[in-house]
Structure 1
Amino acid sequence: MSSNTIRRDPFRSLLQLTAADLTTEERIRKALDVGREYLGVDNGVLSYTGGGRYEVVETNIESGPYAKGGSVDLEGTWCRHVVDGGRTLGFADARKTSYRGDDALDTTGLHCYVGAAVEVDGETYGTLCFSDEEPRSDPISDRERDFISVLAEWVSSELERQKHYAELREQNERLDEFAGIVAHDLRNPLAGAIGFTELAQDHVSGQAAEFLDRVRGALDRMETMIAECLMLAKEGTDVGERTRVDLEGVVRDAWDSVRTRNATLSVEVAAGTTVSADEMRLRRLLENLFRNCVEHGGPDVAVTVTGDDDGFTVSDDGPGLPADVERALTAADAENIRSFGLGLLVVQRVVSGHGWDLAVDSDGGGTRFAVTNLNTAEPVHEGLTAG
């Protein structure tokens, strides 16, 4: 067998393969073809070598122990040298090398071999190897070894990507399961508790009625927390499709849905102001900001919303936020934000999911939340894939 044939540039072939819309399995199969064609050999194999076994993950070999799904003892293969040494190994004719007495020559019957290690997340996964029963007349060049090393790194990246996507899918499935448990197993008994509390409120007065008002308030807060948990679990942070939302209208709708006690609202939004947003999430953001104003500012707090095409602010005349909360929000420190309540974490997630900017200013004279860059930020998922 000779390699003195006109061969396509393997790096160009790999670049074209990278740009192709294929599954991971299809990419790896074609990568094996690229390597076989470049080296001029018959066989290409991606193996998994954990536990001392040589398991064939992908190959063009159609029958025998080295067909896809086959498994043999690693010690009887050429690939054991790659796994043990961690370096690319290649020879055109084993009989003309120091490996001429190696057991793998008799076990596999392969005289020509080039193999490189495949790693996934920093650990050895297996090998990418190319071989032939017939010796090759031309020696394996450094350029050929280097390309197979690059090809093995490319396969490693494909396997890592597949693994991470699988982990993400599994995580999303767990989140969906969690959201289902929250929605069913917590909301159903909570609805019963609210219903019976309302019935009891109709039949008592005095101190008992005051106690039941507190119970109802706590149940309402639980219902709000469950809704916030569902939002964080199911909706995540990335905001995709958006619509033009009337800012003043969504502000007033959000205010009406929050128990604001004796708090007052002033809306100073330029006429006709609209926002490019996911309307439900924007309303969630405003509801949580209003709830925060009332909880930290007191029952008689005055809340003011101002806004135009560039952004909006929600401010109050309360005593201000603790310094730790302000620092966590400004730094988008989700771990610390969570410790101050889910409501502010929802605010941070909605802002970051839209690609907006959030500034917080709080002192003894009140707190001001400023959300800017409303109509210029692109959806997060588009920014990540835009080349």
Structure 2
Amino acid sequence: MTATDLSAEERIRKAIDVGREYLGVDNGVLSYTGDGRYEVVETNIQSGPYARRGVVDLNGTWCRHVVESGEPLGFADARDSEYRDDDALETTGLHCYVGAAVDIDGETYGTLCFSDAEPRNDPITESERDFVAVLAEWVGSELERQKHYAELREQNERLDEFAGIVAHDLRNPLSGAIGFTELAQDHVSGQAAEFLDRVRGALDRMESMIAECLMLAKEGTDVGERTRVDLDGVVRNAWDTVRTRDATLSVDIATGTTVLADEMRLQRLFENLFRNCVEHGGPDVAVTVTGDEGGFAVADDGPGLPTDVEHALTAADAENIKSFGLGLLVVERVISGHGWDLAVDSSDEGTRFAVSDVNAAEPVHEALAAD
């Protein structure tokens, strides 16, 4: 069994055993020292106050010096050191000690220490203190990884809950509003019909925003398995699903051009780019899509994007992109999730989104399938 086959807890226990053997001492302890207490997280000690999950007063331990200074501490015999009169000698009964701080996200989590009730004949060397410090740093990284995985799982659970709320509590009444609006449109004319058209347009936009929220919440940013997608076909399908009003589409894509992509996400990318063209370029904007094996571009002849939007997209600054609408955030997520490059060029004469390196690397699953 290799180290990667072990759980995080098993790897930490292994590190404790390695440290004990290297230093030639009986005890190894990983502690948590928050709130002024000393809680044993992991150890080889089987019984007593320093066994696993044991809690004692931090002030009665050698480790308090490590927590206070942030520096490694070590001595072979407390009676022959500056700590000969320290209270910890009586409360712990430990004469030999080496310990270092364990940090997580820049803050002290606790300590990793090695000790023995009997003094060690050889003095604790600088290299041994350095060894314990490095081991403590590794343990801190392992605990930090566990913490981040736990936070990620919690975040995913919240996203799943959010997606369920969106799907049920928002879509159901929205569907009713769309249905009643359609019924009303069949019975009115003139200005009332014009007002209802605007209402229906707003409801359709709300439905699109819900779909975008679900895409961001449930699918995340990473793209898994990809297939060869016909670029011309996905462009035209996307155009047909968007309310383009009097906008026109021109497609100039080399015959047979395919893109290695998640087809559904690629279509969403084009849908959101087209929607952006119409919303910001006006109802009669002219949209042009070009493409070949190296990439594709969507351009319009509208008034151009605000400078801060252009900069946020080019820098993949998700926080700022969100302030300009979920549609552009979906665009950024799809592009970054595929590992593609995006360039945005906008002026008074129009805006051009250019995506490149679309077929730069073959996914692992395809490479394996080809072997």
Partner of 2:5, secondary structure, is: coil
1:232 and 2:216 correspond:
yes
Shift of the alpha carbon at 1:324?
Answer: 3.3
Distance 1:330 1:81, change over 3 A: closer
Shift of the alpha carbon at 1:325?
Answer: 2.7
Distance across 2 between alignment mates of 1:268 and 1:86: 64
Distance 1:27 1:307, change over 3 A: same
Distance 1:347 1:130, change over 3 A: same
User: Which one of 171, 175, 189 corresponds to residue 191 of structure 1?
Assistant: 175
1:151 and 2:153 correspond:
no
Aligned residues: 364
Distance across 2 between alignment mates of 1:335 and 1:120: 26
Distance across 1 between alignment mates of 2:260 and 2:145: 33
Unaligned runs of 5+ in 1: 1-15, 381-387
Shift of the alpha carbon at 1:82?
Answer: 1.9
Which whole-Å deviations, capped at 9, do the CAs of 1:297-350 have from their partners, x for residues lacking one?
Answer: 222222221111111111223333333333332233333322222212211221
Aligned identity (percent) is: 84
Partner of 1:20, secondary structure, is: helix
Distance across 1 between alignment mates of 2:134 and 2:341: 41
The residue correspondences of 1:311-350 to structure 2 (distance < 5 A) are 311-350=295-334
The residue correspondences of 1:76-87 to structure 2 (distance < 5 A) are 76-87=60-71
Distance 1:232 1:379, change over 3 A: farther
Partner of 2:188, secondary structure, is: coil
Which whole-Å deviations, capped at 9, do the CAs of 1:198-241 have from their partners, x for residues lacking one?
Answer: 11112222222221111111100000111111222222222222
User: Which one of 277, 282, 290 corresponds to residue 306 of structure 1?
Assistant: 290
Distance 1:112 1:333, change over 3 A: closer
User: Which one of 13, 20, 25 corresponds to residue 36 of structure 1?
Assistant: 20
2:266 matched residue in structure 1: 282
Distance across 2 between alignment mates of 1:84 and 1:333: 40
Which whole-Å deviations, capped at 9, do the CAs of 1:229-261 have from their partners, x for residues lacking one?
Answer: 122222222222211111111111101101112
Distance 1:79 1:329, change over 3 A: closer
Distance across 2 between alignment mates of 1:339 and 1:68: 49
Shift of the alpha carbon at 1:103?
Answer: 2.5
TM-score of the superposed pair, with normalisation by structure 1: 0.89
Distance across 1 between alignment mates of 2:85 and 2:348: 84
The residue correspondences of 1:2-21 to structure 2 (distance < 5 A) are 20-21=4-5
Distance across 1 between alignment mates of 2:124 and 2:286: 79
Distance across 2 between alignment mates of 1:160 and 1:378: 33
Which stretch shows the higher mean deviation, 78-87 or 180-189? 78-87
Distance across 1 between alignment mates of 2:67 and 2:90: 20
Q: Contact between 1:45 and 1:58, CA under 8 Å: does it hold in 2?
A: yes
Shift of the alpha carbon at 1:36?
Answer: 0.3
1:70 and 2:57 correspond:
no
Partner of 2:244, secondary structure, is: coil
Coordinate RMSD, CA, aligned: 2.0
Q: Contact between 1:263 and 1:300, CA under 8 Å: does it hold in 2?
A: yes
Partner of 2:228, secondary structure, is: strand
1:125 and 2:102 correspond:
no
Shift of the alpha carbon at 1:379?
Answer: 6.8
TM-score of the superposed pair, with normalisation by structure 2: 0.92
2:155 matched residue in structure 1: 171
Which stretch shows the higher mean deviation, 208-217 or 77-86? 77-86
Q: Which amino acid aligns with 1:61?
A: I
1:57 matched residue in structure 2: 41
Partner of 2:84, secondary structure, is: coil
Q: Contact between 1:114 and 1:130, CA under 8 Å: does it hold in 2?
A: yes
Distance across 1 between alignment mates of 2:125 and 2:286: 78
